[in-house]
Structure 1
Amino acid sequence: MNQHVPTARLEADVAPASEIVRLVDVRRRFGATQALGGISLGVAKGEILGIIGRSGAGKSTLIRCLNGLERPDSGRIEIEGRDIAGLAEAELQPLRRRVGMVFQHFNLLAAKTVAENVGLPLKIAGEAKAKRATRVAELLDLVGLAEKAEAYPAQLSGGQKQRVGIARALAAHPALLLSDEATSALDPETTRQILALLKDINRRLGVTIVLITHEMEVVRAIADRVAVIEAGRIVEEGPVWRVFARPETDLTRSLLAGIRPELPAEIAGRLSPAPGAFAVVRADLVGAGAGTLLGDLAAATGRTAELLHGGIDQIQGRPVASLFLKIPAQGESLAEARRVLDARGGTTEVLGYV
């Protein structure tokens, strides 16, 4: 499903005041290769948006268009209401200071100290030395590296280098922070720390964040909304809890395969497509009813549904259940169970019979 910004808004000359980013039918080709095939997307002020897709889907081209390093062939890219697609390089410079960038491989200058790396954008912008020093000290304290101000990148761990990169990206008080696979080179524990830092920065500073990633765990950890990109197009978009609970495309289901519960192979191998005594059903449900589902099914059908696999996760403060149930297939038990789930906004899929 491709949920774009409504047409009336796309055709408006000025983006809503609450939007930091607005893309309208953005297209980019490299020779015969289509990198972006008509991306339309809005990002609200203070939002964390995750853009996820496989390698080659167009994520890197999209983020380079957002920071002005790539020019689209057509379409509009508005940052704080100003279309940057047609700006000359000199006009782009002040705008780039409103867009901070966090890179996968840190991109720190080895010959400069941590403080000098963080202050570099301010030096380029012509800030006075004393003012730079004050801002650098604030930022290093924010990212927990105040004691490393005079260290060099070679003396830092990967997580510390990324904290320096985040501080540098925030130096010029950006309205938008772009994260390009910022945790891909880090171990799981360090990844959790960096994501917690980004979430804290979003909460404390109100900065809007766009995360480019191929990791659904990253999206689940901190994003408010997710857009799934394939072959240069957005194929699915929505709140993280909704996309995780009810993915609508094969691509999204594939990307979620390592996170979302799947029927164990030893059970799946025993399933038959022919109707039998019991149906094996996948049930997905969001909300308060997720925790009482088995009891609700028993009360409605008079028969106990056996839990084969699955569980309940908390995503954006919502209980999200993905359960594999063994339900009697005779009589009305199965039909009634499906009605119970439908009434609660859940979805069911009969996977086979045993």
Structure 2
Amino acid sequence: MDTVCSAPAEAVVRLIELKRKFGTTAALDGVSLTVRKGEILGIIGRSGAGKSTLIRCLNGLERPDSGQVLVEGRDLARLSERELQPLRRRIGMIFQHFNLLSAKTVEDNVALPLKIEGRAKPERRQRAAELLDLVGLAEKAKAYPASLSGGQKQRVGIARALAARPALLLSDEATSALDPETTASILALLKDINRRLGLTIVLITHEMEVVRTIADRIAVIDAGRIVEEGPVWKVFAEPRSEVTRSLLGTIRPRLPSEIAARLSQQPGGEAILRVEAAGEGARQPFLAELATAAGLPFRLIHGGMDHIQGQPVASLFLAVPARDAGAAGQFLDAHGIKTEVLGYVAGDA
């Protein structure tokens, strides 16, 4: 018999000190994480960080060596294979390479989970029709996967994952095989499904742009450990771990290479400042005040303002006379604006 464990009412998933080794390699090394009902959680990490093992533990395909995997309060790690079957139906799954059956129509692919459950054919067809309409493929019901584009195949995969009305949807690198335009449309669909159905979604990805686009919270995994987590806008604005900063490097403004190549740690000329602000700090006219209230000259050389989850996030690079670098940093710090002197360049940056 399985054990029903107490958990916060809003938690759909709780991972508690999850550990899994393969030989001497720790794929998961004490992972603890909560996924709340109705949220989209993005789990991101480099290749080999432990993402695949984590998702296999979440759907019961992998047994942890120790720790708990609680889905709706039930510990998957303690269930027999027979006891796992009904709980697995509460977990939908979409894959990078779609995993559609080529010999079956789109309608039959979507209805497959219901057929496995033993549902009657009229019920299966009705549910498939509802879901194909939801994902915008009602006219493709009788088509075969070979005739579909990659984006259409993934929409079929999403519809199939929703067939049994799951409480949790797992997305395993579901957009990494798609072009940017198709990726954007699939992410918009997932966000719409999340809002309309209140469905809890866990995204496993190595792409920061995917997390930025639709996730509510982010958890960064590295070497089998969660090294950082929090609201997406907060983590993007103030990354604490080196892994997070590295992953963000693909989408955050970078100092132009021609300026970076000239940087010196010897004071003189102009100081190059990295300036980061988020939330209320980013809403202030801090650049105008730097010039007017503080009377400090500067030049904006790169960067801009973004909006993530409705919050402004600024990442800028300023050039100020070297003699004014300390005063500029103190002024901005006093206004809650994070600054860092990257170095100095002779002449104009």
Q: 1:142 to 1:99 in 2, by over 3 A?
A: same
Is 1:166 equivalent to 2:148 in the alignment? no
- Whether 2:325 is the aligned partner of 1:351: answer no
- 1:295 is the counterpart of 2:260: no
User: 1:341 aligns to what?
Assistant: 332
Code of the aligned partner of 1:252: T
Structure-1 separation of matches of 2:338 and 2:234:
12
Q: Secondary structure, in 3 states, of the residue corresponding to 2:328?
A: helix
Per-residue deviation, residues 33-82 of structure 1 (Å, max 9, x unmatched): 21101100001101101011111111000000000000000001100111
Q: Which amino acid in the other structure matches residue 196 of structure 2?
A: R
Unaligned runs of 5+ in 1: 1-11
CA contact (8 A) 1:300 1:337 kept: no
Q: Deviations over 1:255-276 (max 9, x none)?
A: 1111001101111122220111
Report the residue type matching 1:167 in the other structure: A
Deviates more, 1:64-73 or 1:277-286: 277-286
Match of 2:104 in 1: 112
Q: Which string of whole-angstrom CA distances, capped at 9 and with x for unpartnered residues, describes residues 110-166 of structure 1?
A: 110000000000111111211111111110000000000000000111000000000
Q: Deviations over 1:229-267 (max 9, x none)?
A: 111111111111111111111111111111001101111
Amino acid at match of 1:276: G
- Structure 1 counterpart of 2:318, from 308, 325, 335: 325
- The reply on whether 1:214 has 2:209 as its aligned counterpart is no
Structure 1 residue 269 corresponds to structure 2 residue 261: yes
Q: Does 1:36 align with 2:31?
A: no
| Distance in 2 separating the partners of 1:131 and 1:181 | 31
Partners of 1:242 and 1:294 lie apart in 2 by 21
1:176 to 2:138 alignment: no
**Farther-moved stretch of structure 1 (202-211 vs 261-270):** 261-270
Quick check: 1:307 aligned with 2:300? yes
Alpha-carbon deviation of 1:288? 4.6
Partners of 1:342 and 1:122 lie apart in 2 by 58
Which among 222, 230, 237 is matched to residue 238 of structure 1? 230
SS of residue matched to 1:85: helix
Q: Give 1:339 deviation, angstroms.
A: 3.1
Asked if the contact 1:119/1:133 (under 8 Å) is kept, the reply is yes
* Separation in 2, partners of 1:317, 1:345: 19
Aligned match for 1:74, one of 49, 54, 66: 66
Decide which of 181, 187, 191 is 1:199's aligned counterpart: 191
- The counterpart of 1:139, out of the listed 131, 143, 147, is 131
Counterpart residue identity of residue 59, structure 1:
K
In structure 2, the residue matched to 1:3 is none
Moved over 4 A (4+): none
Q: Among the aligned pairs, what percent are the same residue?
A: 72
Indicate conservation of the 8 Å contact 2:132/2:159, yes or no. yes
Match of 2:97, SS? coil
SS in 1 for 2:62: coil
Q: Shift of the alpha carbon at 1:277?
A: 3.9
**CA positional deviation for 1:337:** 2.5
Supply the distance in 2 between the matched residues of 1:245 and 1:306 (Cα, whole angstroms). Answer: 22
Name the residue aligned to 1:101: 93
Tell me whether 136-145 or 292-301 shows the greater mean CA deviation.
292-301
Distance 1:334 1:238 in 2: 32
Stretch moving more, 100-109 or 248-257: 248-257
Deviation, structure 1 residue 13: 4.6
Aligned residue pairs, count:
341
Mapped partners of 1:72, 1:289: distance in 2: 43
After superposition, what is the alpha-carbon deviation per residue over 1:267-314, rounded to whole angstroms, capped at 9, x for unaligned? Answer: 112222011143111010012542622102113320222101111111
Is contact 2:69-2:75 (8 Å) kept?
A: yes
Q: Is the 8 A contact 2:40 2:202 kept in 1?
A: yes
| RMSD across aligned positions (CA) | 1.4
Is the Cα–Cα contact under 8 Å of residues 285 and 341 in structure 1 kept in the other structure? no
C-alpha distance in 1 between matches for 2:320 and 2:294 = 10
Q: What amino acid sits opposite 1:95 in the alignment?
A: L
What is the TM-score normalised by the length of structure 1? 0.94
Q: Structure 2 CA distance, aligned partners of 1:46 and 1:207? A: 5
Q: Which amino acid aligns with 1:297?
A: L
